Amino acid sequence: MEITDIFGLLGGLALFLYGMKMMSDSLELAAGNKMKTILEKLTTNRFLGVIVGALITAVIQSSSATTVMTVGFVNAGLMKLKNAVWIIMGANIGTTITGQLIVIDISALAPLIAFIGVALIAFFKNKKLDMIGGIIAGLGILFMGMDMMSGAMMPLRDSKEFVNIVSTFKNPLIGILVGAIFTAIIQSSSASVGILIALAKSGVITLSSSIYVLFGQNIGTCITAVLASIGTSKNAKRTTIIHLSFNIIGTIIFVTISLLFPFADIVASLTPGNVPAQIANVHTIFNIGTTILLLPFGKQLVDLSYKLLPKRDEDIEIKKVKYLDKTIFVNDYHIGTSAIANRQLFNEIQNMLTVAKTNLEMAFSILVNWDEKKFDKIIDTEDYIDYLNKEIIEFTTLAISSELPVENSKSIGLFLKTAGDLERIGDHAINIAKRAKKLNENQNSFSSEAMQEINEMNDLTMNVLKRLNTVNIDDPDTLIHKVDSLETIIDEKTSKFSYNQMLRLRDKKCTPENSALFTETLIDFKRVGEHGVNIANAFNEIKDVLTTI
């Protein structure tokens, strides 16, 4: 093999990979966040889930993109783990369309196809035509790369050394390892299958010498999802485990079939003399066959993922976010990114709300019965609230700077404002806790009447926060009405209890110091109610944005 052949091979590979990426990126842009809606609504049924996963992957030409998107949706809470199984199965079927497409010999027309695509991009200033042009140009460039690779690898047919290397691929273990490692490196089973087909077109390999490499490629493609799951929730990691388990089990099944039966010969007989088509067919049969075999065992795959990654109680005192995953802004796949960002923010806001509510409850409890350990915990939890606020600010900054669609980014500012309201609720809890400490240091306490009034204020504000602390915003109008009504009662109670305190002070039933502490505590509860109204209004607008995605 001459040096010019090596350059030709590398150039062809570069064009092939670039064409595939160009086509995939353009298809992703054309698909947009509509894919999120399709996935969310049609994955409850296993058969529909598989069909949707297959169609989406066939459209965007990348099972890696579909799987990464699925990992993101599970991490954001947009999709249940049991529904992700069907999408993963479908994605494995959808990715086989690329291999079947490559087998079609249109290398003579490839330059013309590429030219038409580039012309649409260069001569027409239209966003839709740009995306269509990108798809067409990517397809043309992909086939040009295939043709270059096939031509460059022709001399390998006469290389005894290379023939000897290829013959070792007939060993199942070696073939699987080669396929898995090579696919993991280029992070695309479609691309690695394409390269295998290019070798077949050059007459370098046969189906029997490449069948185990094909099986290994299905394992290697999981590396993209594995990388995407780093730093995500446990359920997102379990999605990756399911993807990997699916392909490993499929490989074991088909290796066993190939060793016991003349599987390669049977597939070869379908398209005699056409090795590229035989390779594409094995890839398709492997993924469809594995899906059919494992379709009844979706629950067992989920159970297996829980056994490999068991549940563990997470300590709230550990300073970390529960739902935000900044890696969604740096991966190569952008479908559903704004939907994932919005859902992650909403979930983290709910986490922050839970923590703020818990701190307010503890602050009230030490006002009733002083507890030094609880006071220290309140201070620590306030640090956690501040940490969450900082992380939400950083996440929203990344989201705004990531060029998400404007209509899907409107809620980002609202989440930022809501985090600010929650941070202020945390501050009011600290204020109440510090007054409890001051009363204890002075060996003092509120009167039974004053304490009863404080208890009423606490119940009202807790009611507000409990209504806001919901996984979904099903009826924002009702939520706003209820929170507004509670806040009105809080205002009325604040005025009434302040007047009662003035009477107690006049009648010398309390000291001026205690009176000041009581009034300030009333104001803290009142402010919490006002922040609750702000959050309810923000949730109403957020709901409008989320339902349009």
For residues 161 and 295, membership in a common domain is answered with yes
Q: What is the average per-residue pLDDT within 168-176?
A: 84
- For the cut 70, the answer to whether the pLDDT of residue 31 exceeds it is no
For residues 56 and 166, membership in a common domain is answered with yes
- For the cut 50, the answer to whether the pLDDT of residue 15 exceeds it is yes
Which of 251, 279, 308 is a domain's end point? 308
For residues 302 and 330, membership in a common domain is answered with no
Q: Cβ(28)–Cβ(334) under 8 Å?
A: yes
With a CB cutoff of 8 Å and minimum separation 6, the contacts of 449 are 500, 504, 509
For residues 296 and 382, membership in a common domain is answered with no
Range of the domain at 347: 326-548
- For the cut 60, the answer to whether the pLDDT of residue 1 exceeds it is no
With a CB cutoff of 8 Å and minimum separation 6, the contacts of 103 are 197, 274, 276, 277, 280
Give dist(CA 325, CA 349) in Å, integer.
14
Structure letter (DSSP) for residue 315: P
Structure letter (DSSP) for residue 313: P
Give dist(CA 26, CA 7) in Å, integer.
28
DSSP assignment of 4-18, as one string? HHHHHHHHHHHHHHH
Q: Is 320 a member of any domain?
A: no
Q: Per the structure block, which two tokens stand in for 498?
A: 């302040």
Which of 253, 275, 308 is a domain's end point? 308
For residues 543 and 475, membership in a common domain is answered with yes
Q: Cβ(212)–Cβ(169) under 8 Å?
A: yes
Q: Cβ(138)–Cβ(22) under 8 Å?
A: yes
Q: Per the structure block, which two tokens stand in for 226?
A: 């594995």
Q: Per the structure block, which two tokens stand in for 356?
A: 């703020």
Q: Is 532 a member of any domain?
A: yes
Could you tell me the pLDDT band of residue 456, with boundaries at 50, 70 and 90? very high
For residues 304 and 381, membership in a common domain is answered with no
Q: What is the pLDDT of residue 465?
A: 92
Nearest to 194 by CA among 109, 289, 113, 95: 95
Higher-scoring residue by pLDDT: 70, 422: 422
Q: Is 314 a member of any domain?
A: no
Nearest to 190 by CA among 257, 142, 141: 142
Q: Is 319 a member of any domain?
A: no
Range of 9-13, 102-106, 355-359, 397-401 with top mean pLDDT: 355-359
Higher-scoring residue by pLDDT: 142, 7: 7
| Average pLDDT score, the chain | 81
HEC string of 445-460? CCCHHHHHHHHHHHHH
Tens-digit pLDDT profile for residues 83-98? 888 888 888 888 787 7
Q: What is the pLDDT of residue 315?
A: 41
Q: What is the pLDDT of residue 43?
A: 55
CATH for 486:
1.20.58.220
Q: Is 504 a member of any domain?
A: yes
Least confident of 154-163, 217-226, 454-463: 154-163
Nearest to 360 by CA among 383, 385, 378, 387: 378
- For the cut 80, the answer to whether the pLDDT of residue 257 exceeds it is yes
Give dist(CA 17, CA 185) in Å, integer.
13
For residues 300 and 351, membership in a common domain is answered with no
Tens-digit pLDDT profile for residues 57-67? 776 666 766 77
E strand intervals along 68-115: none
For residues 287 and 366, membership in a common domain is answered with no
HEC string of 106-128? CCCCHHHHHHHHHHHHHHCCCHH
Q: Per the structure block, which two tokens stand in for 120?
A: 């649409």
Look-up of token digits 């597939």: 267
Could you tell me the pLDDT band of residue 49, with boundaries at 50, 70 and 90? confident
- For the cut 80, the answer to whether the pLDDT of residue 210 exceeds it is yes
For residues 290 and 438, membership in a common domain is answered with no
Look-up of token digits 């992380």: 391
Give the count of domains, the chain. Answer: 2
- For the cut 80, the answer to whether the pLDDT of residue 503 exceeds it is yes
For residues 290 and 218, membership in a common domain is answered with yes
Q: What is the pLDDT of residue 313?
A: 46
Q: Is 286 a member of any domain?
A: yes
Side-chain-facing half-sphere of 499: CA atoms under 13 Å:
6
Give dist(CA 281, CA 120) in Å, integer.
34
Q: Is 315 a member of any domain?
A: no
Q: What is the average per-residue pLDDT within 18-27?
A: 70
Q: What is the pLDDT of residue 299?
A: 87
Q: Cβ(354)–Cβ(470) under 8 Å?
A: no
For residues 362 and 261, membership in a common domain is answered with no
For residues 219 and 352, membership in a common domain is answered with no
Side-chain-facing half-sphere of 362: CA atoms under 13 Å:
22
CA distances 202 to 205, 206, 275, Å, are 8, 10, 10
Q: Per the structure block, which two tokens stand in for 17?
A: 């990979």
Alpha carbon of residue 106 to chain centroid: 37
Residue 409 identity (one-letter amino acid):
S
- For the cut 80, the answer to whether the pLDDT of residue 471 exceeds it is no
Q: What is the pLDDT of residue 158?
A: 62
Q: What is the pLDDT of residue 453?
A: 93
Question: Does residue 490 come out as left (phi exceeding 0), alpha (psi in the -120 to 50 range) or beta?
Answer: alpha
> What percent of the chain stands above pLDDT 90?
23
Could you tell me the pLDDT band of residue 452, with boundaries at 50, 70 and 90? very high
Which of 308, 338, 366 is a domain's end point? 308
Could you tell me the pLDDT band of residue 316, with boundaries at 50, 70 and 90? very low
Could you tell me the pLDDT band of residue 521, with boundaries at 50, 70 and 90? very high
- For the cut 50, the answer to whether the pLDDT of residue 322 exceeds it is yes
Higher-scoring residue by pLDDT: 359, 16: 359
